[in-house]
Structure 1
Amino acid sequence: MSDHWICARLLRRYKRFLADVVLESGEEVTVHCPNTGAMTGCVEEGATVWLSVSDNPKRKYPMTWEIIERSNGDAICVHSARANAVVEEAITKGVIAELQGFSHCQREVKIASGTRADFVLSEPGRCVVEVKSVTLGLGDGYGAFPDAVSDRARRHVEELIAIAAQGDRAVLVLLAMHTGIERLGPADGIDPRYGDTLRRAIAEGVEVLAYGCEVGPEGVRATAALEFLPQLPAAIIERM
């Protein structure tokens, strides 16, 4: 996954999709930033970053920002779209114990609402899985999702509620692609509607799984289950 990643130093992120970095050669270049969120705590000027390089000649910015290594020792994968591949590998290799025992695993499956589920596991039964990347660290090992108000994320939870009501398993996987996160929950201090919807979902049968990752230039891999808290302590919420 990281065969062609190179090291650089972050100068700045701007216009949501762009960042300027300095390569080890001293050359300053603009790279693609693949995270449209707030990226709170993920941008530290002067920090080491890792970039992937595309050989597609049509790309204006061939390098993509993948990882930042913060000065406090935390490593964060800012490429949120990688979360699905990480979870798929974790399911295949048995890392996510709660999602074992199925004969089939399909990605991007259209469901009744017309949207696409990240995964549908089947035989026996049917299990619909939605994946979210968590990069918001709040200190003391706490993390939260989302890092900005997200009506889209809330709708995904509502879709899982509908799936559970139909009798299928509905699972939300919160993947902490941040090595400083040991426990996590909804970001009520940022998007209280999401937190309320998630707690209602749990009450109505939606399963929430939290997993951590190894993050580094050798790649990003899910490791072990983390503690999920339906509501974070008030003192942690105040940090948002």
Structure 2
Amino acid sequence: MQFSPPLQSATLIKRYKRFLADVVTSDGQQLTLHCANTGAMTGCATPGDTVWYSTSANVKRKYAHSWELSETQTGDWICVNTLRANQLVREAIEQQAIAELSGYSKLSGEVRYGSENSRIDLLLQADNRPDCYIEVKSVTLLQQGRGYFPDAVTLRGQKHLRELQAMAAQGQRTVLFFAVLHSGIETVTSAHHIDPRYAELLTQVQQQGVEVICYGARLSAEGIWLTKSLPLLPR
């Protein structure tokens, strides 16, 4: 995924009301950015960090600028725009960059499925093989040198695991895809200390056939690209 034009930088003053952040540019201009992230953003929104933002050409938008990346004061790059995860995984599949998900002829997004009124992020289909249901999650929480998901209790995430488990029981291929969008994360595990029910469900659904794929990314003001498979560690 290439940013065109490249992102612009500013210094974070504060994030507030979940969807807003105040920043100051190098020339002293203060801006309010839209933040497309409803999570806790632990470690991703420290005042003084460098914020990288895009600007929309849509004149009807109340906030023209969107917070895309954080560059921490320790040098890590983090994608805080959670909308990017699905886009990145879709792009990588289309470019045959994820070996585990190659060989399908059709790719669809936001398809309704399951008994709990869900939409699957990505659906892969091909003749003579089961459909592949892919739920994408963005991993940005780094603690004690390890990446964790989720960063807050997620009832929605628990529902997604149940839906994947049900589809696996029907003989379909199901995948939980962790897009690791933090340059400092090299391994991933479930955040049992944050959402123990999610961690328990993750172990359960893996035992019943749900695959977990983790990929790290290269992040910069020019773009984001999924680059390599990362290990999922037991909790």
TM over 0.5, yes or no?
yes
3-state SS in 2 of match to 1:59: coil
Q: Deviations over 1:187-210 (max 9, x none)?
A: 000000000000000000000011
Q: Does 1:144 align with 2:152?
A: no
Equivalent runs, 1:89-128 vs 2, <5 Å:
89-113=91-115, 114-123=117-126, 124-128=129-133
Equivalent AA in structure 2 for residue 38 of structure 1: A
3-state SS in 1 of match to 2:88: helix
Q: Does 1:154 align with 2:158?
A: yes
Q: Is 2:19–2:35's contact at 8 Å kept on the other side of the alignment?
A: yes
3-state SS in 1 of match to 2:122: strand
Runs of 4+ in 1 over 4 A off after TM superposition: none
Deviation (angstroms), 1:139: 3.5
Q: Is 2:132–2:175's contact at 8 Å kept on the other side of the alignment?
A: yes
Distance 1:110 1:220 in 2: 28
Q: Does 1:216 align with 2:226?
A: no
Q: Is 1:41–1:137's contact at 8 Å kept on the other side of the alignment?
A: yes
Distance 1:150 1:112 in 2: 18
3-state SS in 1 of match to 2:209: coil
Deviation (angstroms), 1:166: 0.1
Where does the alignment leave 5 or more consecutive residues of structure 1 unmatched? Answer: 232-240
Q: Does 1:132 align with 2:134?
A: no
Alignment match, 2:29: 27
3-state SS in 1 of match to 2:93: helix
Deviation (angstroms), 1:70: 0.5
Deviation (angstroms), 1:90: 1.2
2:171 to 153, 167, 173: 167
* TM-score in terms of structure 1 length: 0.93
Q: Deviations over 1:45-71 (max 9, x none)?
A: 111111010111111110011001011
Alignment match, 2:186: 182
* TM-score in terms of structure 2 length: 0.95
Deviation (angstroms), 1:84: 0.5
Deviation (angstroms), 1:73: 1.2
Structure 1 stretch 214-223 or stretch 157-166: which is displaced more? 214-223
Distance 2:112 2:190 in 1: 26
Alignment match, 2:211: 207
Alignment match, 2:4: 3
Distance 1:103 1:59 in 2: 37
Equivalenced residues, count: 230
Q: Is 1:95–1:224's contact at 8 Å kept on the other side of the alignment?
A: no
Q: Deviations over 1:161-190 (max 9, x none)?
A: 000000000100011100000000110000
Distance 2:43 2:208 in 1: 33
Where does the alignment leave 5 or more consecutive residues of structure 2 unmatched? Answer: none
Distance 2:138 2:191 in 1: 13
Alignment match, 1:235: none
Distance 2:143 2:216 in 1: 15
Deviation (angstroms), 1:125: 2.4
Deviation (angstroms), 1:219: 1.1
Equivalent AA in structure 1 for residue 51 of structure 2: V
Deviation (angstroms), 1:24: 2.2
Deviation (angstroms), 1:25: 2.0
Equivalent AA in structure 1 for residue 133 of structure 2: V
Compute the RMSD of aligned alpha carbons: 1.0
Q: Deviations over 1:81-109 (max 9, x none)?
A: 11001001111222211101111111111
Equivalent AA in structure 1 for residue 124 of structure 2: L
Structure 1 stretch 165-174 or stretch 114-123: which is displaced more? 114-123
Distance 1:230 1:98 in 2: 21
